[in-house]
Amino acid sequence: MKNIDERRLESDIEYRFAYVADYIGFGDDDVRAIHEAAPLTLPLVPKIVDAAYEAFHRYDATWRHFLSRQQGKPDFGAALERRLKELTPDQAMVKTRKHSLGRYFHRLMTEPYDAAMIQYMDAMGRIHKAESHRSRLDIPLVHMNAFLGQVTDAVTGLIHGLELDPKRELALVRAYTKVMWLQNDLVARHYLRLAES
Protein backbone atom coordinates (compact mmCIF):
# COMPACT_ATOMS: atom_id res chain seq x y z
CA MET A 1 0.00 0.00 0.00
CA LYS A 2 1.32 3.42 -0.96
CA ASN A 3 1.38 6.13 1.67
CA ILE A 4 -0.04 9.47 0.53
CA ASP A 5 0.51 12.75 2.35
CA GLU A 6 -2.97 14.22 2.00
CA ARG A 7 -1.92 17.68 3.15
CA ARG A 8 0.79 17.72 0.52
CA LEU A 9 -1.84 16.94 -2.13
CA GLU A 10 -3.23 20.42 -1.43
CA SER A 11 0.08 22.27 -1.30
CA ASP A 12 2.34 20.56 -3.86
CA ILE A 13 0.93 20.60 -7.38
CA GLU A 14 3.48 18.15 -8.79
CA TYR A 15 2.84 15.70 -5.95
CA ARG A 16 -0.89 16.01 -6.57
CA PHE A 17 -0.50 15.46 -10.31
CA ALA A 18 1.74 12.43 -9.73
CA TYR A 19 -0.81 10.94 -7.31
CA VAL A 20 -3.81 11.41 -9.61
CA ALA A 21 -1.78 10.23 -12.63
CA ASP A 22 -0.71 7.09 -10.78
CA TYR A 23 -4.24 6.48 -9.48
CA ILE A 24 -5.80 6.60 -12.96
CA GLY A 25 -2.87 4.84 -14.63
CA PHE A 26 -1.52 7.75 -16.67
CA GLY A 27 2.11 7.09 -17.50
CA ASP A 28 4.83 6.92 -20.11
CA ASP A 29 2.82 4.69 -22.45
CA ASP A 30 0.02 7.27 -22.52
CA VAL A 31 2.42 10.14 -23.20
CA ARG A 32 4.08 8.09 -25.94
CA ALA A 33 0.69 7.33 -27.53
CA ILE A 34 -0.19 11.05 -27.52
CA HIS A 35 3.16 12.19 -28.91
CA GLU A 36 3.41 9.47 -31.58
CA ALA A 37 -0.09 10.34 -32.81
CA ALA A 38 0.63 14.09 -32.94
CA PRO A 39 1.18 14.14 -36.74
CA LEU A 40 -2.37 12.78 -37.05
CA THR A 41 -4.03 14.70 -34.22
CA LEU A 42 -2.52 18.17 -34.68
CA PRO A 43 -4.54 18.72 -37.89
CA LEU A 44 -7.66 17.94 -35.81
CA VAL A 45 -7.07 20.81 -33.38
CA PRO A 46 -9.17 23.34 -35.36
CA LYS A 47 -12.08 20.87 -35.33
CA ILE A 48 -11.71 20.32 -31.57
CA VAL A 49 -11.65 24.08 -30.97
CA ASP A 50 -14.59 24.73 -33.31
CA ALA A 51 -16.64 22.02 -31.58
CA ALA A 52 -15.90 23.61 -28.19
CA TYR A 53 -16.93 27.05 -29.39
CA GLU A 54 -20.07 25.75 -31.06
CA ALA A 55 -21.02 24.29 -27.67
CA PHE A 56 -20.21 27.57 -25.88
CA HIS A 57 -22.34 29.47 -28.41
CA ARG A 58 -25.36 27.19 -27.87
CA TYR A 59 -25.89 28.40 -24.30
CA ASP A 60 -26.24 31.91 -22.93
CA ALA A 61 -24.73 30.70 -19.64
CA THR A 62 -21.43 29.90 -21.39
CA TRP A 63 -21.44 32.45 -24.20
CA ARG A 64 -21.91 35.37 -21.80
CA HIS A 65 -18.42 34.77 -20.43
CA PHE A 66 -17.02 35.97 -23.74
CA LEU A 67 -18.61 39.39 -23.29
CA SER A 68 -16.50 42.18 -21.94
CA ARG A 69 -17.97 43.86 -18.88
CA GLN A 70 -19.33 47.35 -19.33
CA GLN A 71 -17.74 49.62 -16.70
CA GLY A 72 -16.94 46.56 -14.60
CA LYS A 73 -20.58 45.52 -14.16
CA PRO A 74 -22.31 42.52 -15.73
CA ASP A 75 -25.38 43.04 -17.91
CA PHE A 76 -28.73 41.51 -17.06
CA GLY A 77 -32.02 40.99 -18.84
CA ALA A 78 -32.59 42.64 -22.21
CA ALA A 79 -29.17 44.30 -22.28
CA LEU A 80 -27.46 40.94 -21.81
CA GLU A 81 -29.65 39.28 -24.42
CA ARG A 82 -28.87 42.03 -26.95
CA ARG A 83 -25.13 41.84 -26.34
CA LEU A 84 -25.16 38.04 -26.60
CA LYS A 85 -26.82 38.27 -30.03
CA GLU A 86 -24.25 40.84 -31.14
CA LEU A 87 -21.30 38.68 -30.08
CA THR A 88 -20.41 36.40 -32.97
CA PRO A 89 -17.82 33.62 -33.16
CA ASP A 90 -15.85 35.56 -35.80
CA GLN A 91 -15.15 38.59 -33.59
CA ALA A 92 -11.51 39.31 -32.76
CA MET A 93 -11.75 38.58 -29.03
CA VAL A 94 -13.42 35.21 -29.65
CA LYS A 95 -10.81 34.37 -32.29
CA THR A 96 -8.06 35.22 -29.80
CA ARG A 97 -9.53 32.83 -27.23
CA LYS A 98 -9.97 30.15 -29.88
CA HIS A 99 -6.31 30.56 -30.78
CA SER A 100 -5.38 30.15 -27.10
CA LEU A 101 -7.39 26.94 -26.87
CA GLY A 102 -5.66 25.68 -30.00
CA ARG A 103 -2.25 26.39 -28.43
CA TYR A 104 -3.36 24.49 -25.33
CA PHE A 105 -4.13 21.38 -27.39
CA HIS A 106 -0.91 21.76 -29.36
CA ARG A 107 1.02 21.67 -26.08
CA LEU A 108 -0.90 18.64 -24.82
CA MET A 109 -0.11 16.80 -28.06
CA THR A 110 3.57 17.67 -28.40
CA GLU A 111 5.24 18.66 -25.13
CA PRO A 112 6.55 16.58 -22.24
CA TYR A 113 4.33 16.02 -19.24
CA ASP A 114 6.89 17.54 -16.90
CA ALA A 115 6.81 20.22 -14.19
CA ALA A 116 6.27 22.97 -16.77
CA MET A 117 3.26 21.13 -18.24
CA ILE A 118 1.80 20.56 -14.79
CA GLN A 119 2.10 24.27 -14.01
CA TYR A 120 0.53 25.11 -17.38
CA MET A 121 -2.40 22.76 -16.81
CA ASP A 122 -2.86 24.14 -13.30
CA ALA A 123 -2.94 27.67 -14.72
CA MET A 124 -5.92 26.64 -16.85
CA GLY A 125 -7.90 26.24 -13.64
CA ARG A 126 -6.50 29.31 -11.96
CA ILE A 127 -7.22 31.73 -14.82
CA HIS A 128 -10.84 30.65 -15.13
CA LYS A 129 -11.65 31.18 -11.46
CA ALA A 130 -11.47 34.71 -10.07
CA GLU A 131 -9.67 33.92 -6.83
CA SER A 132 -7.40 36.90 -7.27
CA HIS A 133 -7.69 40.34 -8.80
CA ARG A 134 -5.41 39.21 -11.62
CA SER A 135 -8.11 37.00 -13.13
CA ARG A 136 -10.98 38.81 -14.79
CA LEU A 137 -12.72 35.54 -15.54
CA ASP A 138 -15.05 33.78 -13.15
CA ILE A 139 -16.40 30.75 -14.95
CA PRO A 140 -18.66 28.56 -12.77
CA LEU A 141 -17.34 25.04 -12.23
CA VAL A 142 -20.38 23.45 -13.87
CA HIS A 143 -19.41 25.10 -17.18
CA MET A 144 -15.78 24.02 -16.84
CA ASN A 145 -16.92 20.45 -16.20
CA ALA A 146 -19.30 20.55 -19.16
CA PHE A 147 -16.53 21.94 -21.39
CA LEU A 148 -14.04 19.23 -20.38
CA GLY A 149 -16.65 16.52 -20.92
CA GLN A 150 -17.58 17.92 -24.32
CA VAL A 151 -13.93 18.19 -25.37
CA THR A 152 -13.26 14.61 -24.27
CA ASP A 153 -16.16 13.42 -26.39
CA ALA A 154 -15.06 15.51 -29.40
CA VAL A 155 -11.49 14.20 -29.18
CA THR A 156 -12.76 10.61 -28.87
CA GLY A 157 -14.94 10.98 -31.96
CA LEU A 158 -12.18 12.58 -34.01
CA ILE A 159 -9.68 9.89 -32.99
CA HIS A 160 -12.19 7.23 -34.04
CA GLY A 161 -12.44 8.98 -37.42
CA LEU A 162 -8.70 8.47 -37.98
CA GLU A 163 -9.41 4.76 -38.54
CA LEU A 164 -6.37 3.63 -36.59
CA ASP A 165 -5.58 0.08 -35.67
CA PRO A 166 -8.13 -0.73 -32.91
CA LYS A 167 -5.43 -1.31 -30.28
CA ARG A 168 -3.73 2.02 -31.08
CA GLU A 169 -7.07 3.84 -31.16
CA LEU A 170 -8.04 2.50 -27.75
CA ALA A 171 -4.66 3.44 -26.28
CA LEU A 172 -4.97 6.98 -27.67
CA VAL A 173 -8.55 7.47 -26.49
CA ARG A 174 -7.63 6.21 -23.03
CA ALA A 175 -4.58 8.50 -22.90
CA TYR A 176 -6.60 11.60 -23.80
CA THR A 177 -9.38 10.66 -21.40
CA LYS A 178 -6.81 10.45 -18.60
CA VAL A 179 -5.34 13.82 -19.59
CA MET A 180 -8.80 15.40 -19.41
CA TRP A 181 -9.36 13.88 -15.94
CA LEU A 182 -6.00 15.25 -14.82
CA GLN A 183 -6.99 18.63 -16.24
CA ASN A 184 -10.36 18.43 -14.52
CA ASP A 185 -8.68 17.85 -11.16
CA LEU A 186 -6.37 20.83 -11.70
CA VAL A 187 -9.37 23.00 -12.59
CA ALA A 188 -11.57 21.82 -9.73
CA ARG A 189 -8.89 22.34 -7.07
CA HIS A 190 -9.06 26.12 -7.55
CA TYR A 191 -12.82 26.11 -7.02
CA LEU A 192 -12.61 23.85 -3.98
CA ARG A 193 -9.84 25.91 -2.37
CA LEU A 194 -11.93 29.04 -2.75
CA ALA A 195 -15.03 27.33 -1.34
CA GLU A 196 -13.09 26.13 1.70
CA SER A 197 -11.67 29.58 2.51
- Give the DSSP letter of residue 165: -
32-36, 62-66, 75-79, 127-131: which is most confident: 32-36
Looking at this protein, which amino acid is placed at residue 113? Answer: Y
pLDDT tens digits, 60-85: 888 888 886 544 455 556 676 777 77
In a domain, 86, yes or no: yes
Are the CB atoms for 111 and 38 separated by under 8 Å?
Answer: no
**Count of domains forming the chain:** 1
β-bridge mates for residue 70, sequence order: 73
Global pTM reads 0.88
Higher pLDDT, 176 or 194: 176
Contact 153, 14 (CB under 8 A): no
52 is a domain residue: yes
Please indicate, yes or no, if residue 1 is contained in any of the structural domains: no
Q: Which domain holds residue 146?
A: 6-196
**Would the pLDDT of 90 be above 90?**
no
Q: Is position 118 within any domain?
A: yes
Q: What's the chain's average pLDDT?
A: 89
Whether the per-residue pLDDT at 196 is higher than 80: the answer is: no
pLDDT in the model for residue 27: 98
Coil, strand, or helix at residue 29? helix
53 compared with 133, residue with greater pLDDT: 53
Q: Is the residue at 94 inside a domain?
A: yes
The answer to whether residue 191 is domain-embedded is yes
Q: What is the CATH number of the domain that holds 77?
A: 1.10.490.10
Q: Which pLDDT score, from 0 to 100, does residue 71 have?
A: 41
Percent of the chain, pLDDT > 70? 87
DSSP, collapsed to helix, strand or coil, labels residue 107 as helix
Burial class (CB in 10 A: 0-12, 13-18, 19+), 37: buried
Query: Does a structural domain hold residue 158?
Result: yes
